[in-house]
Homo-oligomer: A and B are copies of this chain.
Amino acid sequence: MCDKHETQDLSRRNFIKTSSALGAGLLLGGFAAPSFAASSEQLANGNIKSRGYAAFDNSGLLKPWEFERRPVGDNDILIEIKFASICHSDIHQMKGHWGAQQYPQVPGHEIAGIVTAVGKNVTKFKVGDRAGVGCMVDSCLDCNSCKDQGEQYCPETKFTYGYPDERSPTGSTQGGYSNNIVVRDHFAVHIPENISLEHAAPLLCAGITTYSPLLKFNLKKGDKIGVVGIGGLGHLAVKLAVSQGADVYAFTSSKDKVADIKAFGAKVVVVDGEDAYNEHKSQLDYLINTLPVKYDIAKYASLVKPFGTYTQVGMPEEFSLNMNALALAASRVNFNASLIGDMQETQEVVDYCAKNNILPATQLIKASEINNAWQSVVDKKARYRYVIDASTF
């Protein structure tokens, strides 16, 4: 094992060396000044100039927006975003389905890019590193949740967009549909060289959100795993479970996804009536449901073996789910819901997918195509993750 102090020193030396090589750092105030690569756009007050696509109301239509991000702090990194992908959550939140929003708001929490500046305390990254950001950008890092149970459960967690943030010039966090982002180093992960940034982006939410509960379930080879809703999250859940030797049953209402899903390695059940449920009653060891809309939990619970586990990861309008208590009792299923994953797991899923060549099926679009892509997501036409080329912002 490396001595920790030595590792930090080495990293520090590396980043100074690299950042010097990439461009001149703007010195704002002695040690407090971050080191920048040439591509960064820092204003006189230290703020970072950004451009992206934002919602200006709850219409669900985005428009170009120029805005400012906070200066790169001592523990921050600045990432030049290369790709940001579209999650159904972006749509729900911008449309106000999860409560009133502050606008303008830039969505996006599946972010991959290149580090272009680091704060003076940062040892985890150096300028030039490939980095990803998911659903969180800050937390206290000191509570039990942060230290042990997962930063997403910290009472002070700042999620990537739409969260009050007094340090932000706009008053709240702004997400990844933009050309750059400032983020505390702890909330960025390294993206290995053997996965493209385009393929890495969807792992930062869709990947971790399905990986974390599958990891906790601790599936054994041959376990029958059900995945409901084969969209961005679902198709990754299928691929992840297949990669772990599971016997995967994918439940979809879209007949035209059957060939794709078989190619992902799963058996397909087209849910078009009661028969689909009856035929597979009490068969599954575990079920993960990615549907981001209201539905009755108990109907799918009937597919799980008695005392099996059922995890909800899709988040519907108002976060509201309904269940028939009697039917749930009849199923004897343990139901839970899972929220993304912690930062250690997030690094794990990126590394795991890179190593095992588990890639999301992506469709590359320009910024100007975001509104159409959102409609396609709502209409279940995405195949399976739209990724925005950030050079088009």
Residues of A at under 8 Å CB distance from B?
A: 98, 149, 153, 306, 309, 312, 314-316, 318-330, 332-339
B321 touches A326 (CB 8 A): no
Tell me how far the C-beta of A332 lies from the nearest C-beta in chain B, rounded to whole angstroms: 7
Question: In the complex, A337→B329 CA distance in Å?
Answer: 4
What's the least CB distance linking A354 to chain B, in Å?
27
A149-B306, A336-B332 known; A326 vs B322 contact (CB < 8 Å):
no
Q: Which residues of B contact A338 (CB under 8 A)?
A: 329, 332
Also in contact, A336 and B335, with CB within 8 A (given A315-B326, A324-B320): yes
Interchain CB contact (< 8 A) of A319 among B149, B153, B326: B326
Give the docked Cα–Cα distance between A326 and B316 (Å).
9
- C-alpha gap A332/B149 in the complex (Å): 10
Listed by A's residue number, 28 A-B pairs whose Cβ atoms lie within 8 Å are A98-B326, A149-B332, A153-B332, A309-B334, A312-B325, A312-B328, A312-B329, A315-B326, A318-B324, A319-B324, A319-B325, A319-B327, A320-B322, A320-B323, A320-B324, A320-B325, A321-B322, A322-B322, A322-B323, A326-B339, A328-B336, A329-B338, A332-B338, A334-B334, A334-B335, A334-B336, A335-B335, A335-B336
Q: How far is the CA of A329 from the CA of B335 in the complex (A)?
A: 10
- Which residues of the partner chain B approach A315 to less than 8 Å between Cβ atoms? 325-326
Copy count, this protein chain: 2
A339 close to B333 (CB less than 8 A): no
Closest beta carbon of chain B to A284's beta carbon, Å: 16
B residues less than 8 Å from A339 (CB atoms):
326, 329-330
A329-B153 Cα distance, complex, nearest whole Å: 9
Q: In the docked arrangement, what's the CA distance between A273 and B8, Å?
A: 49
Contacts of A98 in B (CB 8 A): 326
Q: Is A323 in contact with B325, judged by CB distance below 8 angstroms?
A: no
Contact of A321 among B149, B319, B325, B330 (CB under 8 A): B325
Alpha-carbon separation in the docked complex, A328 to B314 (Å): 12
Choose among B149, B326, B337 the residue that contacts A337 (Cβ–Cβ < 8 A): B326
- Chain B nearest CB from A259 CB (Å) reads 31
Q: Which residue of B lies closest to A339 (CB)?
A: B329
Which residues from chain B contact A329 at a C-beta distance below 8 Å?
Answer: 312, 336-339
**Contacting residues, chain B, for A149 (C-beta < 8 A):** 306, 332
How distant is the Cα of A315 from the Cα of B330 in the complex, in angstroms? 13
Nearest-Cβ distance from residue A93 to partner chain B, whole angstroms: 11
Contacts of A326 in B (CB 8 A): 98, 315, 319, 337, 339
- Complex CA gap A330/B157 in Å reads 12
Shortest Cβ distance from residue A89 to the other chain B in the assembled complex, whole angstroms: 11
**Which residues of chain B come closer than 8 Å to A325, judged between CB atoms?**
312, 314-316, 319-321, 337
Which of B153, B314, B328 meets A330, CB within 8 Å?
B153
How many angstroms from the CA of A309 to the CA of B334 in the assembled complex? Answer: 9
Who on chain B is nearest to A328 by CB?
B337
Task: Report how far A322 CA is from B295 CA in the complex, Å.
Answer: 11
Given A309-B334, A322-B323, 9 more A-B residue pairs with CB atoms under 8 Å apart are A315-B325, A316-B325, A318-B324, A319-B326, A320-B323, A322-B322, A323-B323, A328-B336, A332-B338
Q: What is the CB-to-nearest-CB distance from A314 to chain B, in angstroms, rounded to a whole number?
A: 8
Could you say which of A309, A328, A330 has the most chain B C-beta atoms within 10 Å of its C-beta? A328
Residue of B nearest to A98 (CB): B326
Contacts of A153 in B (CB 8 A): 306, 330, 332
Residues of B within 8 A of A333 (CB): 336
Q: Nearest 4 pairs between A and B by C-beta?
A: A329-B337, A329-B339, A319-B326, A328-B337
Q: Once the chains are docked, how many angstroms separate the CA of A327 from the CA of B312?
A: 12
